[in-house]
Amino acid sequence: STIYDQMRQAKSEKRKLLAILLDPDKIVWENLDNLISKINESPATHVFIGGSLVETNRIDELIIRLKQKSNLPMVLFPGNPSQISKEADAILFLSLISGRNSDYLIGHQVKAAPILKQTQLEIISTGYILVDGGNETAVERVSQTKPLDRNNLDLVLATAEAGEMLGNKLIYLEAGSGAKQSVPLEMIDLVSKKTEIPLIVGGGIVDLLGIKNAYDSGADVVVIGTAFERDFDFFEAAKQHLIENKQ
Ligand code: 1GP
């Protein structure tokens, strides 16, 4: 079955999914084997690969190395068509539906389509919604779009509903990598209740409690980038943190 079918299945069984986001530019190559072991020891169910701007031309090599030692699905999460790699398993085919920059709504997708036709990649159409996380993040800067107001639940909901009606298979609520504030829990709750398709949430989630709260509010997939990038023992440390909180 496809990666998307597995996501649908997980959602229907209320099994929560966790993606580790790797920015190919931030890979310390000498340390890659260690990074992969830490991913394998973590509760991650998916690896997402990409970034708003990626300069390295070593994405293929990165994915080949990852696949040698990890069985997790490798999913591209590209900021632009140059980040397509045939070595991955699937691609989040994103449209930045919170913004009104036509390049990120349809322009890059038109450029990507003939390239994707030459690959076996599973294409997963994704309505990508940028929500204000309290600071200007790379997505906002690079896409030159304004995030949606984090208090405007109606607008975020209508955007997600439109994405679903347009045929998107996933909705991704994004506060931006390194966001000060992650996506509001009541927003996750509302969107998850009013749409049927799996919901991905990411940006600014830095501890296990943040992950748990997102799941409890209705996220099907949580994405962790910065917190893991800063500390490969994040998932160990996060578990510890939760135990300390209980005592
Ligand atoms: C960014 O949602 C992801 O696209 C992850 O964000 O780096 O803040 O975890 P963080």
pLDDT value at position 238? Answer: 74
Query: How much distance in Å is there from the Cα of 178 to the middle of ligand 1?
Result: 6
In a domain, 21, yes or no: no
| pLDDT tens digits along 220-240 | 999 999 999 999 999 998 776
Asked, for residue 49, whether it belongs to a domain, the answer is: yes
Query: Torsion over CA of 206, 209, 211 and 213, rounded to 10 degrees?
Result: -130
Within the chain, residue ranges assigned H as helices are: 3-12, 32-41, 59-69, 102, 108-117, 138-143, 153-165, 185-194, 208-217, 226-230, 234-246
**Ligand 1 atom, smallest distance to 172 CA:** 2
173 within some domain: yes
What pLDDT is stored for residue 245 in this prediction? 63
Domain that holds residue 116: 3-8+33-230
Whether residue 22 has its Cβ less than 6 Å from ligand 1? no
| CATH number of 216's domain | 3.20.20.390
Neighbours of 67 (CB within 10 A): 17
The CA distance from 67 to 238, in Å, is 26
Q: Is residue 15 part of a domain?
A: no
- Whether residue 26 lies inside any domain: the answer is no
Element (H or E) spanning 105, and its range? Answer: none
Give the distance (Å) from ligand 1 centre to CA of residue 228. Answer: 10
The answer to whether residue 97 is domain-embedded is yes
What pLDDT score was predicted for residue 100? 98
Q: Is residue 213 part of a domain?
A: yes
Q: What's the domain count of the chain?
A: 1
pLDDT (tens digit, 9 = 90+) per residue, 175-204?
999 999 999 999 999 999 999 999 999 999
Ligand 1 centre distance from Cα of residue 30 (Å):
24
Tell whether 177 is in a known binding site: yes
pLDDT, residue 231, reads 97
Residue 241: predicted pLDDT: 67
Residue among 18, 20, 21, 23 to mutate when testing ligand 1 (max atoms within 8 A of CB)? 21
- Index of the ligand 1 atom closest to the CA of residue 175: 2
Confirm whether 25 is domain-assigned: no
- Extract the residue ranges of the chain whose pLDDT is less than 50: none
Ligand 1 proximity of 174 Cβ (cutoff 6 Å): yes
Contact 225, 202 (CB under 8 A): yes
**Ligand 1 contact, 203 CB (< 6 A):** yes
CA 142 to mean position of chain CA atoms? 17
Cα separation of 48 and 185, whole Å?
A: 23
